[in-house]
Amino acid sequence: MSQQLPSFQQYQLAFTQHLRNPKLPHPKNTAVKGLAIYEEIVFNNVLESVSACFPVAQKVLGKRAWLQLVRGFFREHSANSPIFRHIPEEFLGYLSTQDNSPVYLNNLCHYEWVELAVSGDNTTIDSVPIDSMGDLLEKRPVFNPAMHLLNYDYDVQNISLHYKPKVPVSTQLLVYRDAQDAVKFLELNTITFQLVALLQENNLTGIKALIQISRDLEHPEPDSVIQFGFEILQDFNRLGIILGVDAVAI
Protein backbone atom coordinates (compact mmCIF):
# COMPACT_ATOMS: atom_id res chain seq x y z
CA MET A 1 0.00 0.00 0.00
CA SER A 2 1.36 3.43 -0.95
CA GLN A 3 2.21 5.84 1.82
CA GLN A 4 -0.47 8.40 2.60
CA LEU A 5 0.11 11.82 1.07
CA PRO A 6 1.45 14.54 3.37
CA SER A 7 -1.27 16.84 4.66
CA PHE A 8 -0.25 19.79 2.49
CA GLN A 9 -0.49 17.63 -0.66
CA GLN A 10 -3.88 16.33 0.45
CA TYR A 11 -4.98 19.95 0.77
CA GLN A 12 -3.59 20.85 -2.67
CA LEU A 13 -5.37 17.89 -4.24
CA ALA A 14 -8.68 18.75 -2.60
CA PHE A 15 -8.23 22.41 -3.55
CA THR A 16 -7.57 21.73 -7.25
CA GLN A 17 -10.32 19.11 -7.47
CA HIS A 18 -12.77 21.64 -6.10
CA LEU A 19 -11.59 24.27 -8.59
CA ARG A 20 -12.25 21.87 -11.46
CA ASN A 21 -15.59 20.81 -10.04
CA PRO A 22 -17.12 23.28 -7.54
CA LYS A 23 -19.81 20.72 -6.70
CA LEU A 24 -17.19 18.76 -4.76
CA PRO A 25 -16.63 19.65 -1.09
CA HIS A 26 -14.19 22.48 -0.57
CA PRO A 27 -11.06 21.86 1.53
CA LYS A 28 -11.38 22.27 5.26
CA ASN A 29 -10.22 25.52 6.82
CA THR A 30 -10.59 27.41 3.53
CA ALA A 31 -12.35 30.75 3.24
CA VAL A 32 -15.35 30.14 0.99
CA LYS A 33 -15.32 33.67 -0.48
CA GLY A 34 -11.63 33.46 -1.32
CA LEU A 35 -12.10 30.05 -2.93
CA ALA A 36 -14.96 31.37 -5.04
CA ILE A 37 -12.63 34.04 -6.46
CA TYR A 38 -10.12 31.38 -7.47
CA GLU A 39 -12.91 29.31 -9.06
CA GLU A 40 -14.02 32.23 -11.20
CA ILE A 41 -10.55 33.39 -12.23
CA VAL A 42 -9.20 29.98 -13.19
CA PHE A 43 -12.27 28.85 -15.13
CA ASN A 44 -12.67 32.18 -16.92
CA ASN A 45 -9.05 32.03 -18.09
CA VAL A 46 -9.70 28.64 -19.65
CA LEU A 47 -13.05 29.74 -21.06
CA GLU A 48 -11.53 32.82 -22.70
CA SER A 49 -8.66 30.84 -24.19
CA VAL A 50 -10.94 28.21 -25.69
CA SER A 51 -13.58 30.67 -26.88
CA ALA A 52 -11.01 32.88 -28.60
CA CYS A 53 -9.88 29.97 -30.77
CA PHE A 54 -13.36 28.69 -31.64
CA PRO A 55 -15.62 31.72 -32.26
CA VAL A 56 -17.82 30.01 -34.87
CA ALA A 57 -18.34 26.88 -32.78
CA GLN A 58 -19.27 29.08 -29.84
CA LYS A 59 -21.91 30.90 -31.90
CA VAL A 60 -23.49 27.85 -33.50
CA LEU A 61 -23.78 26.00 -30.18
CA GLY A 62 -25.11 28.99 -28.26
CA LYS A 63 -23.83 30.51 -25.03
CA ARG A 64 -25.38 27.99 -22.64
CA ALA A 65 -24.32 24.83 -24.49
CA TRP A 66 -20.84 26.26 -25.08
CA LEU A 67 -20.42 27.08 -21.41
CA GLN A 68 -21.47 23.55 -20.45
CA LEU A 69 -19.05 22.04 -22.96
CA VAL A 70 -16.08 24.07 -21.72
CA ARG A 71 -17.07 23.36 -18.13
CA GLY A 72 -17.01 19.63 -18.91
CA PHE A 73 -13.58 20.02 -20.53
CA PHE A 74 -12.26 21.88 -17.47
CA ARG A 75 -13.74 19.33 -15.08
CA GLU A 76 -12.92 16.07 -16.86
CA HIS A 77 -9.94 16.50 -19.18
CA SER A 78 -6.41 15.65 -18.06
CA ALA A 79 -4.08 17.82 -20.15
CA ASN A 80 -0.80 16.53 -21.56
CA SER A 81 0.82 19.96 -21.75
CA PRO A 82 1.23 22.75 -19.20
CA ILE A 83 1.57 25.37 -21.96
CA PHE A 84 -1.34 27.80 -22.00
CA ARG A 85 -1.17 28.12 -25.80
CA HIS A 86 -1.89 24.39 -26.07
CA ILE A 87 -5.28 24.61 -24.36
CA PRO A 88 -7.26 24.78 -27.67
CA GLU A 89 -5.51 21.62 -28.91
CA GLU A 90 -6.27 19.90 -25.61
CA PHE A 91 -9.90 20.94 -26.11
CA LEU A 92 -9.89 19.12 -29.47
CA GLY A 93 -8.76 15.98 -27.67
CA TYR A 94 -11.63 16.33 -25.23
CA LEU A 95 -14.16 16.84 -28.04
CA SER A 96 -13.13 13.53 -29.62
CA THR A 97 -14.44 11.76 -26.51
CA GLN A 98 -17.86 13.42 -26.60
CA ASP A 99 -20.65 11.49 -28.31
CA ASN A 100 -23.50 13.93 -27.72
CA SER A 101 -22.06 16.89 -29.65
CA PRO A 102 -23.36 17.94 -33.10
CA VAL A 103 -21.93 15.65 -35.79
CA TYR A 104 -20.03 18.48 -37.47
CA LEU A 105 -18.50 19.97 -34.31
CA ASN A 106 -15.20 18.05 -34.31
CA ASN A 107 -14.53 19.02 -37.93
CA LEU A 108 -15.51 22.64 -37.31
CA CYS A 109 -13.32 23.03 -34.22
CA HIS A 110 -10.34 21.42 -35.93
CA TYR A 111 -10.81 23.82 -38.85
CA GLU A 112 -10.82 26.78 -36.48
CA TRP A 113 -7.82 25.47 -34.52
CA VAL A 114 -5.71 25.00 -37.67
CA GLU A 115 -5.41 28.77 -38.10
CA LEU A 116 -3.74 28.99 -34.69
CA ALA A 117 -1.52 26.00 -35.46
CA VAL A 118 -0.32 27.38 -38.78
CA SER A 119 0.23 30.90 -37.47
CA GLY A 120 2.55 29.54 -34.77
CA ASP A 121 4.26 26.84 -36.84
CA ASN A 122 8.04 27.32 -36.58
CA THR A 123 8.98 24.29 -38.67
CA THR A 124 11.88 24.98 -41.02
CA ILE A 125 13.33 23.17 -44.03
CA ASP A 126 16.87 24.48 -43.79
CA SER A 127 18.24 21.00 -44.52
CA VAL A 128 16.77 21.03 -48.03
CA PRO A 129 18.45 23.29 -50.63
CA ILE A 130 15.65 24.90 -52.62
CA ASP A 131 15.74 26.15 -56.18
CA SER A 132 12.91 28.68 -56.28
CA MET A 133 13.02 28.80 -60.10
CA GLY A 134 13.43 25.06 -60.71
CA ASP A 135 11.34 22.81 -62.97
CA LEU A 136 8.19 21.82 -61.07
CA LEU A 137 7.65 18.81 -63.32
CA GLU A 138 11.12 17.33 -63.52
CA LYS A 139 12.09 18.05 -59.91
CA ARG A 140 10.47 17.36 -56.54
CA PRO A 141 8.33 20.32 -55.40
CA VAL A 142 9.09 21.55 -51.87
CA PHE A 143 6.03 22.68 -49.93
CA ASN A 144 5.75 25.49 -47.41
CA PRO A 145 6.32 23.82 -43.98
CA ALA A 146 3.62 26.04 -42.43
CA MET A 147 0.86 24.22 -44.27
CA HIS A 148 -1.90 21.71 -43.50
CA LEU A 149 -3.83 19.58 -45.97
CA LEU A 150 -7.33 18.99 -44.60
CA ASN A 151 -10.00 16.44 -45.42
CA TYR A 152 -13.33 16.87 -43.62
CA ASP A 153 -16.69 15.14 -43.65
CA TYR A 154 -18.53 18.49 -43.52
CA ASP A 155 -18.23 21.80 -45.37
CA VAL A 156 -16.81 23.54 -42.31
CA GLN A 157 -15.99 26.75 -44.15
CA ASN A 158 -19.72 27.38 -44.65
CA ILE A 159 -20.96 26.63 -41.13
CA SER A 160 -22.57 29.56 -39.38
CA LEU A 161 -25.39 30.46 -37.04
CA HIS A 162 -27.75 30.07 -39.99
CA TYR A 163 -26.19 26.96 -41.58
CA LYS A 164 -25.60 23.79 -39.58
CA PRO A 165 -25.07 20.78 -41.86
CA LYS A 166 -27.18 17.71 -41.21
CA VAL A 167 -25.62 15.43 -43.81
CA PRO A 168 -21.94 14.88 -44.68
CA VAL A 169 -20.35 17.02 -47.38
CA SER A 170 -16.87 15.79 -48.35
CA THR A 171 -14.58 18.83 -48.16
CA GLN A 172 -10.89 19.25 -48.96
CA LEU A 173 -8.98 22.35 -47.88
CA LEU A 174 -5.43 23.63 -47.77
CA VAL A 175 -4.29 26.15 -45.18
CA TYR A 176 -0.89 27.84 -45.23
CA ARG A 177 1.00 30.89 -44.00
CA ASP A 178 2.23 33.19 -46.76
CA ALA A 179 5.35 35.33 -46.96
CA GLN A 180 3.57 38.15 -45.10
CA ASP A 181 2.69 35.74 -42.25
CA ALA A 182 -1.00 35.83 -43.15
CA VAL A 183 -2.90 32.54 -42.80
CA LYS A 184 -4.75 31.62 -46.00
CA PHE A 185 -7.38 28.95 -46.73
CA LEU A 186 -8.01 27.35 -50.12
CA GLU A 187 -10.82 24.99 -51.06
CA LEU A 188 -9.51 22.17 -53.26
CA ASN A 189 -11.16 19.79 -55.68
CA THR A 190 -10.55 16.07 -55.24
CA ILE A 191 -7.84 15.80 -57.92
CA THR A 192 -5.84 18.73 -56.57
CA PHE A 193 -6.09 17.30 -53.06
CA GLN A 194 -4.80 13.95 -54.36
CA LEU A 195 -1.94 15.67 -56.16
CA VAL A 196 -0.74 17.53 -53.08
CA ALA A 197 -1.11 14.44 -50.87
CA LEU A 198 0.79 12.30 -53.38
CA LEU A 199 3.64 14.79 -53.63
CA GLN A 200 3.91 15.17 -49.87
CA GLU A 201 3.69 11.50 -48.96
CA ASN A 202 5.88 9.99 -51.67
CA ASN A 203 8.49 12.66 -52.50
CA LEU A 204 7.74 12.35 -56.20
CA THR A 205 8.61 14.73 -58.98
CA GLY A 206 5.72 16.69 -60.39
CA ILE A 207 5.57 14.68 -63.61
CA LYS A 208 5.62 11.29 -61.82
CA ALA A 209 2.80 12.34 -59.51
CA LEU A 210 0.67 13.57 -62.40
CA ILE A 211 1.28 10.43 -64.46
CA GLN A 212 0.18 8.33 -61.51
CA ILE A 213 -2.99 10.41 -61.07
CA SER A 214 -3.86 10.11 -64.77
CA ARG A 215 -3.46 6.34 -64.49
CA ASP A 216 -5.58 6.16 -61.35
CA LEU A 217 -8.28 8.17 -63.12
CA GLU A 218 -7.90 6.06 -66.28
CA HIS A 219 -8.07 9.37 -68.11
CA PRO A 220 -8.23 9.03 -71.93
CA GLU A 221 -5.98 12.10 -72.37
CA PRO A 222 -3.08 11.92 -69.87
CA ASP A 223 -1.44 15.00 -71.39
CA SER A 224 -4.42 17.16 -70.37
CA VAL A 225 -4.10 15.92 -66.78
CA ILE A 226 -0.41 16.77 -66.79
CA GLN A 227 -1.04 20.24 -68.21
CA PHE A 228 -3.82 20.87 -65.69
CA GLY A 229 -1.60 19.71 -62.83
CA PHE A 230 1.36 21.76 -64.02
CA GLU A 231 -0.75 24.91 -63.97
CA ILE A 232 -1.82 24.11 -60.41
CA LEU A 233 1.80 23.66 -59.34
CA GLN A 234 2.68 27.00 -60.92
CA ASP A 235 -0.21 28.71 -59.11
CA PHE A 236 0.88 27.16 -55.82
CA ASN A 237 4.41 28.36 -56.45
CA ARG A 238 3.20 31.93 -57.00
CA LEU A 239 1.06 31.78 -53.84
CA GLY A 240 3.93 30.53 -51.69
CA ILE A 241 2.40 27.11 -51.06
CA ILE A 242 5.26 25.59 -53.04
CA LEU A 243 8.59 27.28 -52.31
CA GLY A 244 10.45 25.77 -55.25
CA VAL A 245 12.04 22.41 -55.94
CA ASP A 246 14.62 20.24 -54.26
CA ALA A 247 17.89 21.42 -55.80
CA VAL A 248 19.70 18.18 -54.98
CA ALA A 249 17.27 15.33 -55.62
CA ILE A 250 17.34 13.88 -59.12
CATH classification number, 1-101, choose in 3.40.50, 1.10.150, 1.25.40, 1.10.287: 1.10.150
Please enumerate in sequence order all residues whose Cβ is within 8 A of that of 225, keeping only pairs 6 or more positions apart, or say none: 210, 213, 214, 217, 219
pTM for the full predicted model: 0.87
Nearest by Cα to 187 from 229, 156, 216, 161 = 156
Q: What is the pLDDT of residue 225?
A: 92
Q: What is the pLDDT of residue 124?
A: 72
Residue 94 confidence (pLDDT) above 90? yes
Query: For 35-92, how does the pLDDT look when each residue is reduced to its tens digit (9 = 90+)?
Result: 788 888 889 999 999 999 999 999 999 999 999 999 999 999 988 887 888 999 999 9
CATH classification number, 125-250, choose in 3.90.930.50, 3.30.499.10, 1.10.8.100, 3.40.50.880: 3.90.930.50
When pLDDT is averaged across residues 124-132 and rounded to a whole number, the result is 77
Domain ranges across the chain: 1-101, 125-250
Helix (H, G, I), strand (E, B) or coil at 56: helix
